[in-house]
Structures are given as structure tokens and as C-alpha cells.
């Protein structure tokens, strides 16, 4: 009984892994292509993946303090999931490994009717998070450059 | 003269009251927007348009995004050895698409050589007979501007070389016809058209702007447009030939609220080599009078070749409501005054 459950789990895990391997497109987002590139030191400049994770936590902290946008995240968001997924996404766009497991930016934001003003509010939170984490302004701009192309699909209003 | 001045000021006051009124009325609430990221709308140029100090950018002034309207007011003071200029103005940005602007400027000349002429003309009692107030040395000007964003996004299209591109028009009305003619210009009123392209390169933390301006202005129009060669009769060969001139601004962001940079603005040379022209009076007579008095002005009444404008600036925006710009200006020769380098101070208030 117990044994079959475990083997079932292993089998299920294996098929999922196989599916993930043959269908990496499920990780619905690809690296952006800023015209001037992103320096190879970008992930390290943020303090590695842990540093990026800390930055994302600060980002959500500042987002939740901003009355122009926090209600959207309270109503439609899930902070823990978004912090985990954003860490993966930001690591990828800064040139780290692509472990992103979330939805595409267009799918995730399509129904939210996000305005340019709200997008800019998140950018302001991003700069605040950089300052709070002692990430240099220039490194912060690498991340802004890497995320900026998503504006096209995230801002729908 | 006096009337023009009062008019200009009144228009400015009306505009300021209008903007202030709009900002405080409740109907404004739905349109009001200040969602742009700090400094990305540019600061207040001497032409009233959003941009650097002298060069209009493709960005729309104010902190509004495409979601609303924002207005701003600016004051700029320029101090050069031979002249001082103050600029007061307002502009309004609509939906990050259209910008309207108005500036009232006042340039005061303090040129010793002109004053010598004035002194002599007064002394020999020619002052009245030339029909010109020889002591009159203020050049007021009003500039009306409109700018339309054509395409592109200066800020967020980091994966494409396409910049934000805008077209703009300026209509400048110089209020001191006599002095503009004295300085050898053809017209006191004229329009200028410009095309500007702006792009922020985030990995370099740098904004680059290139502008092409179709104009015949002398010193930005502050000393008129075109030229009238002085033939001593007050008629002569007058031309207002507009040309395309280049302008460049580069602003490097050292922090999210601080930019340093430089600008270059190509100028024409409409009046270089010409003598100043006091109401058609042939100045050789005056120079002769002066040499009889033992004062040899030589070539000092001859206007120097107009120099291109260069500046180095620092802009600081502690928040979205106010920014300060200081600059060092290298304006070259202005009229009969050589090597005009000096300082620029500007405040930009955003609602
Ligand atoms: C470049 C900027 C942005 C990035 C990189 C980003 C990234 C993400 C990611 C990775 C997710 C998770 C997707 C998933 O659950 O599979 C997400 C979801 C979400 N984002 Fe964003 N986002 C950005 C801008 C914004 C803005 C401007 C807003 C609103 C003002 C916003 C609101 C949300 C919300 C509410 C969700 C949850 C949607 C849901 O679970 O249905 N995001 N975003």
C-alpha cells in the first residue's frame, strides 16, 4: 500500500519532470533583450539569487505601502507565490538560470487593467527596494532595463 | 513698450491662475495625474517646452502619464557678463501626448560700448533726433509653444533603438522692435519648428536627446530673427532665412533624483560682422564724433560672430513637485559682447 503510493508519486513526479523537459514553454516567460545588454555581473551585483529574493521581498513591502496599487495586489495577488515567482523571473532576466515556473507576463496581468501610472508606481517601489537593500542605482537600472520590455503586455489600459 | 510688458505679465498671470485653479478644483481630480517616474519628463527649457536647459526634448513636460493631465511652472535666471535674462513660464502636458507652453522672458543688456554711444548721443543731443531711446536696453519676449508626441516611448522600450519622437512649434514675439533693429535683426516675431528624439539608455543610466530646429533666430530669438544689413539708411538688405540647426542634450542620472549633463545648440550667424544699427543712422558718424572726443571705439560697435550655445548642468528633483537646475553656460559672443560665459539657475514647479 505504502510502497505503491510512493512509486505512484515517483512515477507522477517523473512524468511531470519529463513534461517539463519536453515542454519548457510552460515556464511562460523568456529573457528580454535590452539593446545594450545586461552586464554579466548583474546577478552578483544584486547579491546573487538570495540578494534578488531579498530585493523582491522589499519590493512587495513598498508595493503594499502604496495606496495607488496595494489594493490590486490585496484583491488579486498572492504575496508568497509572487515573491517566489518574481525571484525566479528577475534572476532569469538578469542573466541567471531560467527556472521561472509562473505564467507569462501577458497571461498574468491580462485581466488586471493595469495603467501606466500603476506600472510606474511599481517602478518607484523597485527603486525604493534597491535603496533599502543597498543595491547601487546603476545596478538597479540594469534590472529596470531588463524588465521594461514587459510594459507592452502588462500595461493594458 | 510698457504696454507690451504689462500684457505679457498679465497673460502669464492669467495662465498661472488658470493652472492653479484647475489644480485645486474638484473637477480636476479625475484628470489629474503625476504618475511619471522622477525626472523623466525633463525640466523647464528657456522656450517653455519640457527638455533640458535650452534644448527641447521629445518628452512631454509634467509628470502625467497617458492617463491624465499635469501642469508646471518654471522660473529661470541667466547671468552673463553683458546681460541678464529671466524667464517665467507655464506648461501643461495632456496624456503624455500634447504639451502647451508659454514663457515671458526679459533680457537686459548692459553693454558698455552701447552705453558709450548712448552717452555721446545724449551729450551731442542726437538722442532725440534719432528717434530712439538710446538708453532702452531691455528685450522682452513671449514664447508660445506646442509639442506633439508622434511615436515611441523614451523610457520603457529598452529592447529597441526606436526613440520617442515629437514635433514642436514655437511662436516668439519680441517686444522691443527698436532694439531688435538696432542689433541688426530683420524680424521681431517669428516661428520655429523642431523635431526631437529622446531615449533613456538604462544600462548606461543616460538620457540622450537630439533635436533639429528650423529657425532664423538670433540668440534664441531674444535678439530677433534674421538680419538687416546696415546701409546707413535704415532700409538695406533684410533677410529672414530659416535653416535647420542641430541641438544635443545628454543627461546622465547619478541617482534617481539627480542628473548631470551637457548641451549643445547650434546657432546661426545672422548679424556677425555688422555694426549695430541705430535707427538707420550711419554709425561711422558716431564713431567719428567719438574719435573727435578722443574715444576710439574702433570695431567695438561691430557685432561679433554669434557663437553656438554650450552648457553643463546639474538637475536635482527632491520630489515630484519641485526641481532645481544649475548650469554653467558657454554662449560665445552675443551681439557686440565677446565670450559670454555665466550661470543659469532654474526652478521647475510641478503640480
Ligand atoms: C515589470 C513589472 C512586473 C513584473 C515583472 C511582474 C511579475 C509578475 C509575476 C512573476 C507574477 C506571477 C505570475 C503567476 O502567478 O504565474 C505576477 C502576478 C501579478 N502581478 Fe505582476 N508584474 C509586474 C507588474 C505588475 C503591476 C504594475 C501590477 C499592478 C499594479 C501587477 C500586479 C500583479 C498581480 C495582481 C498579480 C497576480 C495575478 C494573479 O495571480 O492572478 N504586476 N506579476
Of B247, B208, B259, which is closest to residue B43 (Cα–Cα)? B259
Predicted complex ipTM exceeds 0.90: no
Q: 3-class SS at B282?
A: coil
Average pLDDT, chain A: 87
| A45–B contact, CB cutoff 8 A | no
The pLDDT assigned to A74 comes to: 96
**Cell for B177?**
522692435
Q: Which residue range forms the structural domain that includes residue A83? A: 3-154
CB contact under 8 A, A33 and B33: no
pLDDT band of B2, cuts 50, 70, 90: very low
Q: 3-class SS at B284?
A: helix
* Ligand 1 pocket test target in A70, A90, A106, A109 with most atoms within 8 Å of CB: A109
The pLDDT assigned to B339 comes to: 82
Domain membership of residue B1 (yes or no) is no
CATH number, residue B222: 2.40.160.40
Per-residue pLDDT of B5-31, as tens digits, reads 445 455 555 555 555 555 554 455 688
Between B35, B156, B158, which is nearest A121 by CB?
A: B35
Domain membership of residue B3 (yes or no) is no
Minimal Cα–Cα distance from A7 to chain B, Å?
A: 47
pLDDT band of A23, cuts 50, 70, 90: very low
Per-residue pLDDT of B265-289, as tens digits, reads 999 888 877 776 665 555 555 665 6
Give the distance (Å) from ligand 1 centre to CA of residue A108: 6
pLDDT tops 90 at residue B198: yes
Domain membership of residue B2 (yes or no) is no
Q: Which residue range forms the structural domain that includes residue B36? A: 8-350
- Residue with the bigger pLDDT between A62 and B117: it is A62
The full DSSP string for A97-153 is -----S--HHHHHGGG-B-HHHHHHHHHHHHHHHHHTT--HHHHHHHHHHHGGGHHH
Domain membership of residue B126 (yes or no) is yes
Average pLDDT, chain B: 83
| B255–A contact, CB cutoff 8 A | yes
Of B288, B299, B279, B178, which is closest to residue B236 (Cα–Cα)? B279
| A39–B contact, CB cutoff 8 A | yes
pLDDT tops 70 at residue B113: no
Asked if B145 and B11 count as a contact pair (C-beta separation under 8 A), the reply is no
pTM value is 0.84
CATH number, residue A54: 1.10.490.10
pLDDT tops 90 at residue A20: no
The pLDDT assigned to A19 comes to: 43
The number of domains in chain A is 1
The pLDDT assigned to A35 comes to: 92
* Ligand 1 cavity residues, CB under 6 Å: A 69, 72-73, 76-78, 81-82, 85-86, 89, 102-103, 108-109, 112, 114, 118-119, 122, 147, 150, 154
What percent of chain B has pLDDT above 90? 56
Minimal Cα–Cα distance from A126 to chain B, Å?
A: 11
The number of domains in chain B is 1
Determine if residue B75 is left, alpha or beta; phi over 0 gives left, psi from -120 to 50 gives alpha, anything else beta.
beta
Domain membership of residue B221 (yes or no) is yes
Domain membership of residue B254 (yes or no) is yes
Amino acid at each position: 500500500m505504502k510502497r505503491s503510493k510512493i512509486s505512484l508519486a515517483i512515477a507522477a513526479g517523473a512524468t511531470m519532470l519529463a513534461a517539463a523537459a519536453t515542454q519548457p514553454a510552460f515556464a511562460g516567460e523568456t529573457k528580454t533583450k535590452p539593446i545594450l545588454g545586461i552586464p554579466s555581473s548583474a546577478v552578483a551585483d544584486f547579491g546573487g539569487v538570495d540578494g534578488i529574493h531579498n530585493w523582491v521581498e522589499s519590493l512587495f513591502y513598498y508595493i503594499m505601502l502604496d495606496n495607488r496599487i496595494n489594493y490590486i495586489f490585496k484583491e488579486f495577488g498572492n504575496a508568497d507565490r509572487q515573491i517566489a515567482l518574481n525571484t525566479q523571473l528577475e534572476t532569469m532576466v538578469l542573466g541567471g538560470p531560467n527556472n521561472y515556473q509562473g505564467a507569462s507576463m501577458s497571461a498574468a496581468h491580462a485581466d488586471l487593467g493595469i495603467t501606466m501610472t500603476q506600472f510606474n508606481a511599481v517602478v518607484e517601489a523597485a527603486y525604493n527596494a534597491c535603496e533599502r537593500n543597498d543595491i547601487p542605482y546603476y545596478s538597479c537600472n540594469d534590472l529596470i532595463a531588463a524588465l521594461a520590455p514587459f510594459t507592452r503586455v502588462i500595461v493594458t489600459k | 513698450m510698457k504696454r507690451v510688458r504689462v500684457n505679457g505679465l498679465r497673460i502669464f498671470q492669467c495662465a498661472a491662475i488658470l493652472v492653479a485653479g484647475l489644480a485645486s478644483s474638484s473637477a480636476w481630480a479625475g484628470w489629474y495625474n503625476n504618475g511619471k517616474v522622477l525626472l523623466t519628463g525633463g525640466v523647464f527649457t528657456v522656450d517653455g517646452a519640457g527638455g533640458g536647459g535650452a534644448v527641447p526634448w521629445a518628452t512631454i513636460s509634467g509628470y502625467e502619464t497617458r492617463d491624465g493631465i499635469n501642469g508646471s511652472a518654471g522660473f529661470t535666471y541667466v547671468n552673463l557678463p553683458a546681460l541678464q535674462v529671466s524667464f517665467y513660464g507655464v506648461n501643461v502636458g495632456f496624456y503624455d501626448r500634447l504639451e502647451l507652453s508659454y514663457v515671458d522672458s526679459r533680457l537686459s543688456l548692459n553693454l558698455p560700448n552701447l552705453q558709450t554711444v548712448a552717452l555721446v548721443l545724449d551729450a551731442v543731443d542726437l538722442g532725440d533726433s534719432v528717434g530712439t531711446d538710446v538708453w532702452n536696453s531691455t528685450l522682452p519676449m513671449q514664447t508660445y509653444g506646442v509639442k506633439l508626441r508622434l511615436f515611441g516611448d523614451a523610457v520603457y522600450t529598452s529592447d529597441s533603438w526606436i526613440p520617442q519622437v515629437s514635433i514642436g512649434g514655437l511662436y516668439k514675439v519680441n517686444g522691443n522692435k527698436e532694439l531688435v533693429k538696432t542689433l541688426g535683426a530683420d524680424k521681431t516675431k517669428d516661428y520655429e519648428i523642431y523635431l526631437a528624439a529622446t531615449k533613456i539608455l538604462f544600462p548606461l543610466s543616460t538620457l540622450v536627446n537630439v533635436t533639429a530646429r528650423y529657425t532664423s533666430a538670433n540668440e534664441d530669438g531674444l535678439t530677433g530673427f534674421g538680419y538687416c544689413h546696415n546701409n546707413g539708411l535704415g532700409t538695406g538688405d533684410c533677410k529672414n532665412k530659416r535653416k535647420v540647426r542641430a541641438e544635443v542634450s545628454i543627461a546622465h542620472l547619478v541617482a534617481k533624483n539627480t542628473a548631470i549633463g551637457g548641451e549643445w545648440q547650434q546657432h546661426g550667424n545672422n548679424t556677425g560682422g555688422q555694426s549695430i544699427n541705430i535707427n538707420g543712422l550711419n554709425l561711422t558718424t558716431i564713431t567719428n564724433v567719438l574719435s573727435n572726443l578722443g574715444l576710439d571705439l574702433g570695431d567695438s560697435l561691430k557685432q561679433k560672430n554669434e557663437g553656438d550655445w554650450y552648457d553643463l548642468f546639474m538637475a536635482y528633483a527632491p520630489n515630484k513637485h519641485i526641481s532645481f537646475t544649475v548650469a554653467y553656460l558657454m554662449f560665445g559672443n552675443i551681439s557686440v559682447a565677446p565670450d559670454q560665459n555665466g550661470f543659469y539657475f532654474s526652478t521647475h514647479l510641478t503640480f
